[in-house]
């Protein structure tokens, strides 16, 4: 898979997610015009990372690594750059928490506007710790 192929697909309908082997992401894209263009913009910025992760998953599957073992691989690690991107753009709605796999906090932030901005600002200050914790929890299976 290459970046040119992904860019040639429609970002507003989510076809790029289908191509990258993530068909469930396509449904919300279809229903919301690329998540009201914010998801579209986010994916354009991080398309290189998405393609790299997809290619790494394919290589691991071809080498015989099981899906359970694949989750412990570094390709699934959350990126500090991407966490900041989500935190700075849609962090008030908990986007960075959803990215880090902390869905309860994500919903809580979405309904309270990032705990009335205080929690959102606090998260921006301690983003590296949040990312390191999320990666460690994913590798050890604790959450």
pLDDT, tens digit, 9 for 90 and up, residues 28-67: 777 777 667 777 777 777 777 778 778 877 887 788 877 6
CB atoms within 10 A of CB 68: 8
Q: What is the pLDDT of residue 127?
A: 95
48 with 42: CB under 8 angstroms? no
Interatomic CA distance for residues 5 and 3, integer angstroms: 5
78 Ramachandran zone, left/alpha/beta (phi>0; psi -120 to 50): beta
Summarize pLDDT for 94-136 with one digit per residue, the tens: 989 988 888 899 999 999 998 899 999 999 999 999 999 998 8
Q: What is the pLDDT of residue 61?
A: 79
Q: What backbone phi and psi angles, to 5 degrees, belong to 75?
A: -65, -20
């Amino acid at each position: 898979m290459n970046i040119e192929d992904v860019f040639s697909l429609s970002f507003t309908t989510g076809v790029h997610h289908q191509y990258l082997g993530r068909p469930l992401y396509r449904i919300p894209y279809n229903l919301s015009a690329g998540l009201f263009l914010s998801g579209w913009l986010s994916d354009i910025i991080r398309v290189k990372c998405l393609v790299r992760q997809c290619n790494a998953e394919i290589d691991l599957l071809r080498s015989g690594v099981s899906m359970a073992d694949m989750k412990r691989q570094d390709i699934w690690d959350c990126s500090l750059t991407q966490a900041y991107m989500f935190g700075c753009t849609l962090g008030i709605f908990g986007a960075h928490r959803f990215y880090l796999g902390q869905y309860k906090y994500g919903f809580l932030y979405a309904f309270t506007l990032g705990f009335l901005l205080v929690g959102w600002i606090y998260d921006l200050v301690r983003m590296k710790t949040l990312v390191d914790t999320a990666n460690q929890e994913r590798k050890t299976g604790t959450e």
